[in-house]
Amino acid sequence: MLRRTASGRTADPRPALPAGRSARRADRRMLIESLGVYYPAHVVSTADILAGCRHKVRAPLERVTGIHRRRIVAEGEYSHDLAVNAVRDCLSRSRYAPHEIDVVISCDISRCSGPNSESLVEPTGALRVAQQIGLTAAMAFDVRNACAGFFTALVVAQALLDTGAARRVLVVSGEHITHLIRTAQLEIDGPRDPRMACLTLGDAGVAAILELASGEGAGFHDIELYTLGRYSSLCVGKLSERPHGGAIMLTDSLKIAEVGIQQFATHAPRFLQENGIRPEACDQFIMHQTASRSLRRAAEALNRSFGRKVLNKRNTIYNLAERGNTATTTHFVAVMDHIRNGTIHSDDTVVFGIAASGQTAGSALYTFDDLPDRIRQRTKRSLPKQSSVTIRRPCLGTDRPRVRIESWGIVPPGPSPPRDTLVQLASAAEACFADSFYDPRDIDLLVNAGVYRNEFLSEPALAAVLAGRLQMNDASESPDDKKTLAFDVASGATGFLQACYLSSQMIASGAFDTAMVVASEIDYNAPLWPDNVLGLEETASAMIVDGRGDGETGFGKFLFDDDWDHLHRFESHSQNRQGRSALSFARDGKLQQYYLECIERTVARLLEETGLRIADFDVVLPPQISPSFVDRLGRQLDVPPGRLVRLSRPHRDLYTSSLAHSLDALARARRVTRGMKGLIVEVGAGIQVACAIYHW
C-alpha cells in the first residue's frame, strides 16, 4: 500500500528504477529484424532554397549546416506515400509477411496529406498504412514526440515485446516536411529569423520490424529517453498565422543545440557505464542530424566528459550533406546510408544520441546482427498478395498483476470553457493530483491522448509542454535526477483507452512505475466556422495508473479491433480558410449506426474469448457520444439500463474524455463497490473499437 511520508510525498516500498526512463528490462534484447528506407527522387540544393526566399538572406547556411542537397517529394507525394514505400522496402527483405505483424506504430511529425500543407488528423496514419499494406492482424496507432518519435515508438515496442503482448512490431515514419521550406521562404526576413531551421529539412521514409532476439549479443542493449518540459518552447511546429497559410517551425537553434549537447554529454557516459560498455568498444556514434557544427560541438563535449578523445571523424557519422535534417527518420536514414557505403558492419555496436523539441533527450545502444550484410547483398523477395483471410486479433493483457486507476480528474463542462488545450489539460491534471497520493515529481510516464488542439500544434508533443507546465521533472542537472518521459498517442476517440493499455504494458514491463494519461478536446472551428463544427464537448481529463494495488484491482483484458470497410466514414484534416487555420472534415450520415454495428461485433468477440456474458458485468462504461447514442448501444448490447453509465444531462460528444467522466459519474452516484466488474467501450474513426475489462 502507498503511504504518506512526513513531507507529504509518497513513499515507495519497492526499489527505485534508474533515473533515466529505460526500455531495457527483459533478458532478451529487441532486434531490428529488417529495415527499410525510401528517398524521394527530386533533389534540391541549399543554394536554390536560399535563392527562393522572398527576402534575400545573407547566411552561410551550407557551411554552418554541412547540407549541400536534400531529397524533396514529387508533386502529389505526401507523408503516407513515404511511409508505405518504406514499409514495402522493409518487408521486401524480411522473413515475415504482412499478416504476421502484430502492431504497427506510425511516428512522423508532419502527417502532411495535401498540397497546401494539409495535416491529417483522423484516421491515424498507422491505420492507413495497415490498410494499404495488408497488415490484417496488426493493432495500429500513432506515437508523436517530435524528432524523438521513432525512438519513443521503439520504447513502446520494447514494452509490448517484453510483456508478450506482441511478437513483431512495425515502426514507420514518413516525413514529408519540406513543405515548411515554402512557408519559411515567404516569411524569413533575416539570418536570425527563428524560421531558418526550416531551410535545413529533407524528406524521407523509414520502417523497421522489431522482435526479440533469439540469441545473445545482437539487439538494443538499452534505450533511455526523458523529457525536459522546461525547454518545450525552444522549437514549435504549427500552422502559420499568416494569410498564405502553410506550416512553419519556429526554433531557437542555438539554445536547443546547447541543451541537447549538454544532455548527451552528461547522459551518454553514465548510460554506457550502466550497460557495461567502454566507449572505445563502440564502433559508431550517430546523433540527431541537424547541422554539422552542432555535431562537432557535441563530439567535443562528449570527449570532455569521457576525459579523452573517443569520438573522431572515423567513428562519428555526419549524414547531412545529401539528406538534410529528416526529423524522426534521421538516425536510421544515416544507418542505411552507412550500411550501404560500408561504414557500418555486421556485429558493430552503435551509440545513438537522441535530442528533440520538447525537449526529449536520451541515448540508445545497439549491436547489429548480420543485417548490414543482408542489406548490402540486396536480396529481396516479392511481397505476398494481401491476405483475404480475416485474422482475429487476440485479447491483450494479463489478468494479474493488474494495473489500476489510482485517481482521476476532469474539467467539468461549462458555458464558457477556456478554449485553450494546455489550460484545460493542466486543470484536469491538477484535479487528478488533488485526489492522489502522488505529486507531479512522482510520475514516470505522461501520455497525452487528445486529438483536437490549438494551432494544430505538431511539435513538440503536447505532453511535453504539459510536463513543463506542471514542473514534472522538467529539468535535469545530473544523470541521477528523477526523470519523466512524455509523449502523445493518437488513436482518435479510442486514444484514451489505447494510452491506458500502453501505459499498463510499460508498467508491466518493469521500465516504469507510474503513468498519467491526459486528454483534451476543443471544437476547432467554433469561433471561425460555427456552422461547421464537430460537436465536441470542450473538456479535459487526467488519470493516474500504477501497478501498486492489491494485484486484483485494475485493468484485465483489452481488445482493439478495426473495420477497414469503414476507414473513410470519418476523415479530418487541417485547411486554410479565408487566411485562417480551420478544420475540414467529412462524416458519413450513418456513422453512428456503423459505430453500433462495429461495437457489437467487438464486444461479442471479447465475451467469446473471455467466456463472459454481458450479464456478468456490473456496469458498462460506453462512449459518451450523446445520451441517445448510449441508449441505442444499451439496447444493441442488451445491457439493463441500471448497469449502463448514461450521462443524462444533454451534452456534446465527450470524445477522449468519455472514460474519466463516466468514472466520475459513477463515483458521485456512489455506485462503485469492491469486487465490481466493468466493461469499458470506446469507438472512433477507422472505424476503431477499443474494449477493456476493469475490476474494482
Look at residue 543 and give its three-state secondary structure.
strand
Banded pLDDT at 383 (limits 50, 70, 90) = low
Q: How does pLDDT run across 73-126, given as a tens digit for each residue? A: 999 999 999 999 999 999 999 999 999 999 999 999 989 888 877 899 999 999
Would you identify the CATH topology of the domain 404-695? Peroxisomal Thiolase; Chain A, domain 1 (3.40.47)
Backbone phi, psi, residue 445, to 5°: -140, 125
Same topology for domains 21-181+193-375 and 404-695, yes or no?
A: yes
Exposure b/e, 34-54, CB count within 10 A at least 16 = b = bbbbbbbeeebebeebbeebe
> Stretch 175-181: mean pLDDT, rounded?
96
Task: Report DSSP letters for 126-184, one per residue.
Answer: HHHHHHHHT-TT-EEEEEEBTBTHHHHHHHHHHHHHHTTS-S-EEEEEEE--THHHHHH
3-state helix, strand, coil split of the chain in percent (to 5) is 35, 25, 40
What integer pLDDT is reported at residue 7 of this predicted model?
27
Answer whether residue 10 shows pLDDT above 50: no
pLDDT digits (tens, 9 = 90+) for 473-512: 999 878 888 999 999 999 999 999 999 999 999 999 999 9
Question: Among all chains, which residue has been given the C-alpha cell 556485429?
Answer: 347
- pLDDT, average across residues 175-195: 95
* The C-alpha cell that represents 324 in the structure block: 538534410
Mean pLDDT over all residues of the chain?
92
User: From start to end of 547-631, where are the E strands?
Assistant: 554-562, 570-577, 580-587, 619-621
DSSP conformational letter for 53: -
Question: What pLDDT shows up at residue 250?
Answer: 97
Q: What confidence tier does 400 reach under pLDDT thresholds 50, 70, 90? A: low
Instruction: Provide the 8-state DSSP code for 359.
Output: T
Reference 284, options 207, 337, 355; nearest CA is: 337
Q: How many residues does the chain have?
A: 696
Distances (CA, A) of 573 to 39, 215, 581: 25, 45, 11
Whether 6 shows a pLDDT value over 90: the answer reads: no
Is the model's pLDDT at 601 over the cut of 70? yes
Alpha helices in 611-680 (DSSP H): 627-637, 658-668
pLDDT at 516: 98
* pLDDT at position 527: 87
Residue (of 464, 548, 471) closest to 514 by Cα position: 548
Helices (H), 275-348: 292-306, 330-340
Phi, psi of 663 (to 5 degrees): -60, -40
Least confident of 147-156, 213-222, 377-386, 628-637: 377-386
Question: Could you give the CA distance from residue 582 to residue 527 in angstroms, rounded to a whole number?
Answer: 10
Here the cell at position 327 is 526529423
Let me know the angle formed at the C-alpha of 587 by 581 and 588, rounded to the nearest 5 degrees.
Answer: 165
Given this model, what pLDDT does residue 378 score?
77
pLDDT for the residue numbered 14: 35
Return the CA Rg of the chain.
24
At residue 2, the pLDDT reads 27
Amino acid residing at 297: R
pLDDT digits (tens, 9 = 90+) for 29-60: 999 999 999 999 999 999 999 999 999 998 89
Asked, as a colleague might, if the bond just before 641 is cis with ω within 30 of 0, I would say no
pLDDT at 580: 85
pLDDT digits (tens, 9 = 90+) for 538-576: 999 999 999 998 888 999 999 999 999 999 999 999 988
CA–CA gap between residue 130 and residue 126 (Å, rounded)? 6
**DSSP secondary structure, 396-445, as one string:** BS-SSSPPEEEEEEE----SS----HHHHHHHHHHHHHHTSS--GGG-SE
| 559 vs 446: CA distance, rounded Å | 23
pLDDT recorded at residue 205: 98
> Pick from 692, 495, 481: which is nearest to 602 by CA?
692
What percentage of the chain carries pLDDT values higher than 70? 93
Exposed, middle or buried by CB within 10 Å (0-12, 13-18, 19+), for 272? buried
CATH 3.30.930.10 fits 21-181+193-375, yes or no: no
Of 178, 170, 210, whose CA–CA distance to 88 is shortest? 170
High-pLDDT (> 90) share of the chain, %: 83
pLDDT of amino acid 13 = 35
The span from the CA of 613 to the CA of 599, in Å, is 15
Triad 445, 332, 255: Cα angle to 5°: 60
Question: How far apart are alpha carbons 536 and 655 in whole angstroms?
Answer: 7
Nearest to 169 by CA among 303, 16, 32: 32
For the chain, what are the domain ranges?
A: 21-181+193-375, 404-695
The alpha carbon of 605 is separated from its chain's Cα centroid by a whole number of angstroms, namely 28
CA distance 245 to 445: 35
pTM confidence score:
0.94
